[in-house]
Amino acid sequence: MAWFVLVLAGALEAVWAVALGRSEGFSRLVPSLVFLVAIAASMAGLGYAMRTLPIGTAYAVWVGIGAALTVAWGMVTGDEPASLTRVLLLCGLVGCVVGLKLAH
């Protein structure tokens, strides 16, 4: 259960990161509210997962999932350039996150 919650919390990290960018310095209400809800849920999920998983592993997986999804979203929406190199590097990042799970 902790791993499922951790993956969900990592996905919510990507949500709050995108919402933060779209809030334009917290001057837009809806993205600011999405940011607040997503960051609270993401941190709560991380905290829950850290009750049973090692802190370093849980944090690395949380950050890795959040970073990979945030960059992937940026490439899909056209906010960030997409290239084969970037996609391969993201696959390497996801592979490392999976490796941390398997090594646990």
Q: According to the model, what pLDDT value does residue 77 have?
A: 96
Handedness of CA 8, 10, 16, 21 (dihedral sign): negative
Q: What is the CA radius of gyration of the chain?
A: 14
pTM beyond 0.85: yes
CB 94 within 8 A of CB 68: yes
User: CB within 8 A of 61, min separation 6: which ones?
Assistant: 6, 7, 10, 97, 100, 101
d(CA 36, CA 53): 25
Q: According to the model, what pLDDT value does residue 59 have?
A: 96
Q: According to the model, what pLDDT value does residue 103 have?
A: 86
Taking only the tens of pLDDT, the chain with its 104 residues reads 999 999 999 999 999 999 999 999 999 999 999 999 999 999 999 999 999 999 999 999 999 999 999 999 999 999 999 999 999 999 999 999 889 888 87
How many angstroms from the chain centroid is the CA of residue 65?
4
Q: According to the model, what pLDDT value does residue 100 have?
A: 85
Q: In the chain, what are the domain boundaries? A: 2-103
